[in-house]
Every structure is written in structure tokens, then in C-alpha cells.
Amino acid sequence: MRNVLTISGLKGGTGKSVTALNLSASLALYGKKVLLVDCDPQARASQWRKLDSKENDHDLAQVLAARIGVPDAVSGTDIDGLDILPAGFGLFSISRKLTRRIDNEKLLRLIIDEIKHDYDIVILDAPSSCGYLSIAALTAADWLAAVVIPDEDWVSDFHSLIRIVRYIRQSHNTPLGIAGILFNRCNSEKQMQNGAVPEVFEKIRPLIYKTMIPDDEMLDKKPPSLGPLSLYDIKAQASQAYLGIAREIICAFNLK
């Protein structure tokens, strides 16, 4: 089975990179072999990785440019079972070249296919936009987890993301499904209903993960560049919430 999950959302500041990093770490803590692919030129999910003898520019941009193979770009981390295919600002330049042909939107999917059997699950951190890298990250996936914050625009943002999913299904004939909606910086269901018409919320509700990521001050104290929160305080509310999301995904994806 192809277990490739993209963490995405159209709005910046919802915590996609933090979620991708902490969710990947939580799955590894449950004994799963995980690859985190950073598809964002800002490289927030990559900054903490353990450096080894590889050159610092061995990253996703070099793989997309066919200068190195995937195994040469993958780095280990301080968490057993968690590897990273890091990003760098070079992604910005290579994406401008690749965007000229629609066929290139499937390039990342072909790259992931090379190493998918080495991992229980592959998680992609997509940038906040409708640009090439976001579309490529979604096209590479079998499942989408949409990260939202409980503001008045989250429903319309999610519906816009669904339109992109339909485009990808039709253009590339890929079975991209909706794994769920993950609420970040949310402390109650009442907050979730912010900006949502009751009838619309009831239709969307089955897609919402049972676990929500609370507005935990530890997330501000420990930015992604310092690594997953579980390395510093596994008992923190947010750490426990990410472990809860990991359990939901293990169950949904039947990860043994």
C-alpha cells in the first residue's frame, strides 16, 4: 500500500510545517519508519535535522534537478525511525523552471515512488500557495491532511483546497483522498464552528480529526528550528495532541 500523506493548506501561518514535523516525530516514536519530505523553500521543517558527512546542498532541489539521487539527499535525525528529505531556497529556482510544463507536476510523485517501500509512511510538508511546489506535493500524495486554524475563513479555505484536489484527480489521474481536517491552535469544538454555517459544519464534521492541537505556549517557545516538541517536553499539551493525531493516522492507515 502507498502511504503518502501531504500536510497542506492555502493560508500561511496555520502551522503546517510545525504539524508535519511534530506528526512525523510522533509516528516515529510509535515505532514507525517515517520519511518527512520538506517541499517548502523556507525549509522550516528541515532546519533542525542532524547534519552528517553529506554536503548541505543535498536536498530536494538537487533531486528535482536530477543532480543527485534520492538516497543521497535523505538525512537521518536524532529520532530513531525518522528521516528527512530536506528543502532549501534552491527549491524556489527549480520550481520556476519546472512550472513551465504541466507534466512536471507529477515529477515529485515519481521521486517518492523510488523510496516509498523503505518507509511505513511518507509525509510531505507543502508550502502555502497554489504554485508548482504545492501542486506537486499534492500530486505526489495519496492522502491530504488539511491544517486549519479556527478563524472565520477556514471553511472557504478548505473548499478552495478541495477544488485543487479535483483538479489534480482529473489532470493526473491520481487517487488523492481527504485524510482529514486538522485544527491547530484550537481548544474546543465551539472554536471550530467559528465562521461556519451550522449545516455546512455538520457536513464537514466527519472529516475533522478527533484530536485538535491546542493553543500551547510551548509551540511558541520551541520553534521548528529546534526540532519536534516531544524532544523537549513530551508531556506538554501539544506533544500529547500530536501523539493523538499519530494514533488516529496509524489506525486509519492500518500501519502495523
Q: How confident is the model at residue 223 (pLDDT cuts 50, 70, 90)?
A: low
Residue type for position 98: L
pLDDT per residue as tens digits for the range 88-121 = 878 888 888 887 777 889 999 999 999 999 999 9
Distance CA 250, CA 24 (A): 12
**242 — pLDDT class (breaks 50, 70, 90):** very high
Report whether CATH 3.50.50.60 matches the domain 4-252: no
CA atoms of 217 and 247, how far apart (whole Å): 23
- Give the residue among 149, 147, 156 at the shortest CA–CA distance from 179: 147
Determine which helix (DSSP H) or strand (DSSP E) holds 53, and give its type and residue range.
none
The overall average pLDDT reported for the chain is 89
Q: Output the nine-digit C-alpha cell for 214.
A: 491546542
Buried b (16+ CB within 10 A) or exposed e, 83-92: bbbbbbebbb
User: What is the per-residue DSSP string for 122-135?
Assistant: EEEE--SSSSHHHH
Domain boundaries, given as residue ranges, for the chain: 4-252
- pTM here is 0.93
The enclosing H or E element of 35 equals strand 34-38
| Span of 6-15, 70-79, 189-198 with lowest mean pLDDT | 189-198
- Kindly state the percentage of the chain with pLDDT values over 70: 93
